[in-house]
Amino acid sequence: MSVSPAIATQTTSVTWRIDDHTGADVLADPTPWVKAYEEVYAHALHLPDHNDPTFAERLAFSAGREGFRLTSCHADGVLAGFAYGYTLPASTGWWNGFTPLPGVDADEMTAERPGRTFAMCEALVPTAFRRSGVVERAFPFLIRGRTEERVAGLVAETNAHALDLTLRNGWTHVGDVEPHPGWRRHHALIMPLR
C-alpha cells in the first residue's frame, strides 16, 4: 500500500508510475528492494559498504524510523529506481567523524534538533534506467511535503557519477564522513528544503 496516491504519467511510449511507501509497507515485503539492490551492486557486495551491515538490515532499521518514506519509480511496470530516508533524531550517528570542507562550520552543520534533517539513506537506479531521468522524475516526490529544513545524503567517495548527479540537482558537498567503521569515506551532501 502506498502512503499517497500513485502518480502515473505517459512520456513517449513509456508509462511512469511513482509510489510512496511507508515503513510498514516495506517491512511487510522488503524483497523487491533487496533484490534490486543486490542486482545493481552485485559487483560490489564484497565491500563492507554493501554487506556490513547488509542492505536488508539497513533497510529494516530505516523503515522503523520516524518520518520514513520510500519512493519508487516504475517504467511500464518495471522498477526503474527507488530512494528512501527518514527524519534524523536529535541524537544521531549520521555525522560521526564528519570532516568539513573549508568554510563549513562543523558544529552548525552537525547540530541536529527534532525535525531538522531528512536523511536520504539510499537512492538506486538499475543500469537499464540510468540517464533516463528517473532521479529528476522521482526525487521531488521523495521530498514532497517534508517539513524538515534540509535533506542530507551520502555518496561514496569513488562514485563520481552520483556525486556529479547530486551536485547538478541542487545539493552542496559540505564534507566527508565514514558512515560505519570499515566503510569507504563518503561525501556528505546537503540540500535545503525550505
Residue 172, pLDDT > 60, answer yes
Cell 521531488 belongs to 140
| Domains annotated on the chain, with CATH | 7-192 (3.40.630.30)
Under 8 Å between Cβ of 115 and 190: no
Name which residue leads in pLDDT, 181 or 147. 147
Name which residue leads in pLDDT, 68 or 132. 68
| Structure confidence by residue, pLDDT tens digits, 141-164 | 899 999 999 999 999 999 998 899
Report the C-alpha gap between 24 and 120 in whole angstroms.
Answer: 18
- Taking Cα atoms as reference points, which of 97, 94, 101 lies closest to residue 117? 94
Under 8 Å between Cβ of 14 and 75: yes
Residue 124, pLDDT > 80, answer yes
Residue 3 has what pLDDT? 45
Sequence-ordered alpha helix ranges (H) in the chain: 23-28, 31-40, 48-51, 55-63, 106-110, 134-143, 160-168
| Structure confidence by residue, pLDDT tens digits, 25-55 | 999 999 999 999 999 999 999 988 889 999 9
Please state the rounded mean pLDDT for residues 79-86.
95
Report the C-alpha gap between 117 and 152 in whole angstroms.
Answer: 7
Report the C-alpha gap between 145 and 149 in whole angstroms.
Answer: 11
Report the C-alpha gap between 19 and 83 in whole angstroms.
Answer: 11
Under 8 Å between Cβ of 174 and 109: yes
Percent of the chain scoring above 70 in pLDDT: 94
| Confidence class for position 5, pLDDT limits 50, 70, 90 | very low
| Confidence class for position 7, pLDDT limits 50, 70, 90 | low
Residue 193, pLDDT > 90, answer yes
Please state the rounded mean pLDDT for residues 78-102.
95
Name which residue leads in pLDDT, 35 or 194. 35
Residue 6, pLDDT > 60, answer no
